[in-house]
Structure 1
Amino acid sequence: MNAASESALCPSAVNHQSLKVLAQWLKHHGSKQVRTTDPRRLLAGRYPQGLISEAEMQALMAVWH
């Protein structure tokens, strides 16, 4: 690796204030988003309409839960 990429991996190269801002954002938004995600909506948005049948969607939902 070169010196530039090595410094990017070094934790001391990260701005402390930036880490605090990121931590606050994750505290307020990160975990809440994971908990409230609708799996059916997530799958429907990820795959083209008609690719997954209703029966397949039901099976995926059963596995999800």
Structure 2
Amino acid sequence: MNAESNSIKTYTPHPARVNGDAIHALAQWLKANDSRQPDLRSLMNDRYPVGLFSEDEMKALCELARN
């Protein structure tokens, strides 16, 4: 007999078969701990001329970009 056929095989699920709650929890953690999120205000200041947007417009644009 083949020695390999007598060994106990363990089942490893495919990586795509993951609990939906686990994926959601991971997404929430990544969102909360992602340090790569840019500072939107400085990004806007670097991209557009000074004075193009009022302070209120800048706040509104940053809120839109975050959501």
| TM range, smaller chain | 0.3 to 0.5
Greater helix content: 1
TM-score by length of 1: 0.44
Query: Of the two, which has the highest radius of gyration?
Result: 2
Greater relative CO, 1 or 2 (CA 8 Å, sep 6+): 2
TM-score by length of 2: 0.43
